[in-house]
Structure 1
Amino acid sequence: MNRFLSNATNRIDAKGRVSVPSTFRAVLAQAAVSELYAWQDFVFPAVSMAGPEVLDRFERMIGSQDPFSAEANKMSLLIHGGGVFMKLDGEGRLLVTDFIRDFTGITDRVTFAGRGDHFQLWEPAAFEEMQSRARKERTAIS
């Protein structure tokens, strides 16, 4: 297993921690990820998380552009100004910080959504609504 797949909703404990699904922890362990890069998603009201290699990929994209261009500066603002490093505790829990709560609207539960090479943290009702909308739009195309 080397991809983040499926979704799960977990409750935030009294100390503000949430257990990351075991399947997601297994992917992180297989890739030897000890520190997560978390960024505010560019499209959805979700916080995305992956190993630091994703940040490296974003920085290569910026580096391939004119450093004074508007596009490079906007991308840097999003990935550097809208990103932080986080770690899981020894029991596989993540602290749900204001960085996460303020951007997503998460309160007492978190939906973890697999996105292949990364996963996202969603407010559960927002995830359900967006997934339903995406399914309807996809069905209308077929």
Structure 2
Amino acid sequence: MLRSAETLFLGSHINKVDAKGRIAAPADFRRALKLDAFNGFYCVPSLLGPYLDCGGANFIENLQAMIAALDPYDPDRAALQETLIGQARPIPFDGDGRFILPQPLREHARIGERALLMGCGETFQIRDAQGAEERLAAATERARRALGKLRNPPPLQIGGGAR
């Protein structure tokens, strides 16, 4: 199920990692997570690079559903369960909207003094902020080349369907 625009993770935020390892969560990201019973988010180390894939309860539920759709005896299913679900962590917010990433997650994402929280719509990523401008420039160039792949969405059905 698609999230409404108010509950999407949009934009990018660079926040300082304090001496205790706390990172302030952007207020709009916290609002997007308000629908969940858990006051926080879920985080898994990405298999595609040194960053973290994050989201609300639906993120983990969707991830588990995709893995569960594989044959139960498929070794890839076991590897995905062990690597993604086995390393997933619930990350709670404190009273001030901050969170602490466990050391293995910080090490995977190579997070130093500043963290980049980047909205990806229904999910978000946490990366080290160093090099963010260069990554954005490279992504922008690729996005320009990929622009032609986008298609208009189907028209909205208003009033309950065909007449």
State which drifts further: 52-61 or 106-115.
52-61
Native 8 Å contact 2:16 2:114 kept in 1: yes
Q: Tell me how many residue pairs correspond in the alignment.
A: 142
Provide the rounded CA distance (Å) in 1 between the counterparts of 2:46 and 2:60: 13
Q: Describe the shift of the 1:54–1:93 C-alpha distance in structure 2 as closer, same or farther (beyond 3 A).
A: same
Provide the rounded CA distance (Å) in 2 between the counterparts of 1:141 and 1:39: 27
Q: State the AA in 2 paired with 1:73.
A: A
Equivalent runs, 1:27-38 vs 2, <5 Å? 27-38=32-43
Which of structures 1 and 2 has the bigger CA Rg?
2
Is 1:54 the counterpart of 2:53? The answer is: no
The Cα of 1:124 is off from its aligned counterpart by 0.8
Is 1:85 the counterpart of 2:93? The answer is: no
Structure 1 unaligned residues grouped into runs of 5+: none
The aligned counterpart of 1:65 is 70
Is 1:2 the counterpart of 2:7? The answer is: yes
| Identity between Structure 1 and Structure 2 (%) | 25
Q: Describe the shift of the 1:64–1:140 C-alpha distance in structure 2 as closer, same or farther (beyond 3 A).
A: closer
Instruction: Let me know the Cα RMSD of the aligned residues.
Output: 1.8
- TM-score, structure 1 normalization: 0.88
The Cα of 1:33 is off from its aligned counterpart by 4.2
Q: Describe the shift of the 1:128–1:97 C-alpha distance in structure 2 as closer, same or farther (beyond 3 A).
A: farther
The higher relative CO (CA closer than 8 Å, separation ≥ 6) is in 1
Provide the rounded CA distance (Å) in 2 between the counterparts of 1:27 and 1:103: 25
Provide the rounded CA distance (Å) in 2 between the counterparts of 1:117 and 1:107: 26
Q: State the AA in 2 paired with 1:42.
A: L
The aligned counterpart of 1:43 is 48
Provide the rounded CA distance (Å) in 2 between the counterparts of 1:108 and 1:97: 15
